Amino acid sequence: MTTPRSQLIALDVTPYYHCVSRCVRRSFLCGEDAVSGRSYEHRRDWLEKRILKLADIYCIDICAYAVMSNHYHLVVHINRPKAESLTNDEVIERWQTEHQLPPLMQRYVKRQLTCKAEYRCCEQLIHRWRKRLFSLSWMMKELNFEIALQANREDGCTGHFWEGRFKSQALLDGKAVLAAMTYVDLNPVRAKIAETPETSEYTSLKKRLDSLEADQPTPHGLYPFIGYERLNQPDGIPFRLMDYIEWVDLAGRQIREDKRGFIDERQPEILTRLSLNHIDCLKLITDMERRRRIWVGSAESLESTKTSLNKSRIDGLKI
């Protein structure tokens, strides 16, 4: 039986999630179809731009992404506090970027309402939109719908383009977030369609590296790295970007059978701070694909999650 999404997304437990969405047809999402020889590479650009655009509208931060030939990965941070702090006008402004406002709401924006009943109706609608702005299901639906529409139009056909539901994994602690981001950013290397992380097109790490090379801050649409936990810390991924790049480079050399490389005995700082060693983390990256589970984290995090959800058992992958 399919588990309701409401039981898979528990914001009181964690705001971090790993999502995967796959094509249902033989036709590729992107890349080149080996049978017909037709190239769909331009669709990767569609999807990357759509991901980053929706990140501007929704209060859902993009930590990592990778666009593959017939599926894509996201690691997201659902920013409910940000959505709840928006003014009513800010909620409307975000929502109307992708949706046409009903006539009553257009009058609300122009301050032309004439009675309390109209105000109450608008307040209820704004409340609904505010909740949708931090709904992972809504964002994924709008991401997939637009790409399916464009692909079907290009292919001259109708019908389902994506599998019925996207898959999600809850990332319960910093170790799980690091492993999921590494897994996602290294997907093209694991699939042997790229030699190194820096040559992996349509990944968040490539986007970040390009920005670094251009001496620019965090790329538009991506959640920033803010360093390790401290007082008065701004919103962002609680690692240092350079530590993350160092770790992904090491992991990328380890997972390529033809590029084993030298295993440096010096632990990357990002692993030391998370009390991980690189062998365990590499195993976890592999296990995230082979042993797909709904909840990922340390033994302590999994136990805490069971308590929070009032369950005796959960489908968890222990780090």
- The whole-number pLDDT of residue 32 equals 65
User: In this structure, are residues 248 and 197 in contact, taking their beta carbons and an 8 Å threshold?
Assistant: yes
Three-class secondary structure of residue 10 per DSSP: coil
Domain identity same for 263 and 146: yes
The domain total for the chain is 2
Domain identity same for 117 and 213: no
74 DSSP β-pair partners: 19, 65
Three-class secondary structure of residue 303 per DSSP: helix
Domain identity same for 256 and 192: yes
- The whole-number pLDDT of residue 304 equals 85
* Exposure b/e, 32-53, CB count within 10 A at least 16 = b: eeeeeeeebeebbebbbebbbb
Query: Can you tell me the distance from the alpha carbon of 63 to that of 39, in angstroms, rounded to the nearest whole number?
Result: 28
- The whole-number pLDDT of residue 276 equals 66
The CATH number of whichever domain residue 140 belongs to comes to: 3.30.70.1290
Query: Can you tell me the distance from the alpha carbon of 199 to that of 188, in angstroms, rounded to the nearest whole number?
Result: 9
Query: Can you tell me the distance from the alpha carbon of 178 to that of 250, in angstroms, rounded to the nearest whole number?
Result: 14
- The whole-number pLDDT of residue 52 equals 96
Domain identity same for 141 and 153: yes
Residue 228's identity, in one-letter code, is Y
User: In this structure, are residues 237 and 224 in contact, taking their beta carbons and an 8 Å threshold?
Assistant: yes
Q: What is the DSSP string of 52-99?
A: HHHHHHSSEEEEEEEE-SSEEEEEEEE-HHHHHHS-HHHHHHHHHTTS
Which residue from 249, 204, 207 is spatially nearest to 77, judged by alpha carbons? Answer: 204
Token pair, residue 36, equals: 């017909």
Domain identity same for 237 and 304: yes
- The whole-number pLDDT of residue 170 equals 94
User: In this structure, are residues 185 and 203 in contact, taking their beta carbons and an 8 Å threshold?
Assistant: yes
Three-class secondary structure of residue 164 per DSSP: coil
Domain identity same for 199 and 75: yes
DSSP H or E stretch at residue 238: none
Residue 115: which domain range?
Answer: 87-132
User: In this structure, are residues 271 and 278 in contact, taking their beta carbons and an 8 Å threshold?
Assistant: yes
Domain identity same for 25 and 120: no
Three-class secondary structure of residue 113 per DSSP: coil
Three-class secondary structure of residue 257 per DSSP: coil
- The whole-number pLDDT of residue 30 equals 63
Helix 204-213 and helix 241-255: axis angle, to 10°?
130
Q: Does residue 145 fall inside a structural domain?
A: yes
End-to-end CA distance of the chain: 27
Domain identity same for 275 and 213: yes
Domain identity same for 103 and 15: no
Token pair, residue 287, equals: 């296990």
Per-residue pLDDT tens listing for the chain (319 residues): 466 676 789 999 999 999 999 887 655 666 566 666 777 788 889 999 999 999 999 999 999 999 998 889 999 999 999 999 999 999 999 999 999 999 999 999 999 998 999 999 999 999 999 999 999 999 999 999 998 888 888 878 877 888 878 899 999 999 899 989 999 999 988 888 888 888 888 999 999 999 988 888 788 899 999 987 776 778 899 888 888 988 888 887 776 554 444 444 455 666 666 666 666 667 666 666 666 787 888 888 888 888 888 887 888 777 7
User: In this structure, are residues 24 and 88 in contact, taking their beta carbons and an 8 Å threshold?
Assistant: no
With tokens 């702005």, the residue in question is 133
Q: Does residue 269 fall inside a structural domain?
A: yes
Q: What is the DSSP letter of 256?
A: -
Domain identity same for 167 and 228: yes
